[in-house]
Chain A
């Protein structure tokens, strides 16, 4: 039981990390949710072997499961859930504002790239202002990049 839970936690961490490294906000949020689940499973594993319910007929059985980790796991679930919902609300607001689900280039990165003449940022992340239909296609879809919005700061940093 402990081994299978540990494997489950490992799989959750692996997929969560993979999703977290994506360019779409929705995938990042899903990745965080999976990471949260992974840590909760790890917390349950930390309680040791499973046993009987702790309070049967008001008599301790002597072989009951550790209730402390369950209490902690419950708290962690509630908190992670709340923050994930807040993130979804932010992502929805971001969609309203930019019409896109992708994380924008970092303004600071763009400035530095412009200084050194590196063109890769522009290549990997082309403006697609007039192609709203193509949004779901791939990570290359970019937010509307009107000249006036150059000062708009962006979320995740992307190394050139």
Chain B
């Protein structure tokens, strides 16, 4: 049985509507959210099973043909990323419920709209529809960042909204230019018509596309909004943003550059990738707060994904896809551990933490696994992903970027040891407050620490699962990359 590509989106949006109707009953809202997200995850898994061999599932929405209507298309890349994303989102939802950060009545509907936006971004086969999906997830994210209405949330949220709205405006303009040049916004059809354009025109449009998705993906030098905006939100929200939203930007970059055939921009992408890796990780080293360190790491890791794309070889893009798959749960679980620390100690500042390895060994273990994975230490998932990228770089004889990526890895390990030494080793600071039994957050009921821990274990378990299954996952990534590079992704053309 093959599910309809639109199923995850429909489930999430129906869930959002039901959750809105049930806004006075938190328990019901939670049940609705969990049910619709689980349903979407099952549908995504079924699509993954169906596209495993390279089949492409397509739908023309409303029966309109693809040249005037909207085409949805699920290939292996979409299905892989969709499944990993939805699994991670489910873990974060459980974590939010456990920490009672879901209390304000708008959380559940907004979170489900975010889910729908992310799913649509992975599934759509149409450039304008990609814009719509970005707006769906961005508007949901605007609300989630500023949900508390605190002063830092408002000022950082403002930067976040302004930057993203500017990027969206550029996106519309880019779509206008592409449509004027090619007469279509269907990605498969663009794959045929775009390469036929003049070289100069292709370069100009390609750079516009690169800028738009560069802002969304927080690529150097367009990343400066991210380390401010992300830590302002409540921890589970930061976790899902860090894990997912920039990766959707990377996915859009991969999808559009392979569809439009932007190989000429490869060198620019590689330079941007190298700078993103190094500057992101240097920013992380300079920080003192757990969430801010991790936010700079988000930027740094984007560089690795774009490195794979910039090579424009099957191995490179396969490495990039594998890296995104590994990165989504790893980043999320690191932030969730940060949230556990904050919930326990009331702060995320490294100079006010210490001795957690003795006090809460389980949390320490939950930090170590994804942290080593992030730095690319074998046998964790990051090692496999980085190894495939470095092999691809060597095969393409781009030794400079390979060297830069290795330096970036070493620096990543260094800043992870900084968190480890600051938070987990050493003596607990003397003026430390007693472990917070009841936080002073305006939340209803006491946070359920056991459930939050379980959700974190689930997210970390996902990263371990990816490490264990990295063999087949790499093979799937190669198939997916071949599909991407083979041109039009099989979307129904006119």
Contacts and interface: CB of A to CB of B under 8 A. Distances in A.
A114 interface: no
A86 B176 contact: no
A152 B155 contact: yes
Interface in B220-257: 224, 228, 232
- Could you say which interface size class chain B belongs to? 35 or more
A153 B169 contact: no
A46 B180 contact: yes
A40 B171 CA distance: 11
A94 B158 contact: yes
A149 to B, nearest CB: 8
B318 to A, nearest CB: 34
Nearest to A48: B180
B173 interface: yes
B161 A39 contact: no
B442 to A, nearest CB: 17
A155 B158 contact: yes
A154 B155 contact: yes
Interface string B132-169: 10010011001100100101101111110110011011
B414 interface: no
A35 B131 CA distance: 16
A129 B336 CA distance: 39
Interface residues of A, number: 43
B128 interface: yes
Given A28-B162, A46-B176, A153-B152, A80 B157 contact: no
A55 to B, nearest CB: 13
Given A75-B132, A97-B151, A83 B158 contact: no
Name the prevailing secondary structure of the B interface residues. helix
Contacts of A68: 68, 179
Interface in B103-153: 128, 131-132, 135, 138-139, 142-143, 146, 149, 151-152
A40 to B, nearest CB: 7
A135 interface: no
A156 interface: yes
Contact of A82 (B132, B139, B146, B149): B139
A39 B151 contact: no
Interface in A86-103: 86-87, 90-91, 93-94, 97-98, 103
15 contacts: A32-B162, A32-B165, A32-B166, A36-B172, A38-B173, A72-B175, A72-B179, A76-B131, A79-B135, A79-B168, A83-B138, A86-B139, A90-B154, A94-B154, A155-B155
Interface of A: 20, 25, 28, 32, 35-36, 38-40, 42-43, 45-48, 68-69, 72, 75-76, 79-80, 82-84, 86-87, 90-91, 93-94, 97-98, 103-104, 106, 108, 152-157
Interface of B: 68, 128, 131-132, 135, 138-139, 142-143, 146, 149, 151-152, 154-159, 161-162, 165-166, 168-170, 172-173, 175-177, 179-180, 185, 224, 228, 232
Given A75-B128, A104-B155, 10 more contacts: A20-B166, A36-B165, A43-B175, A45-B180, A75-B132, A86-B143, A90-B158, A152-B151, A154-B155, A156-B159
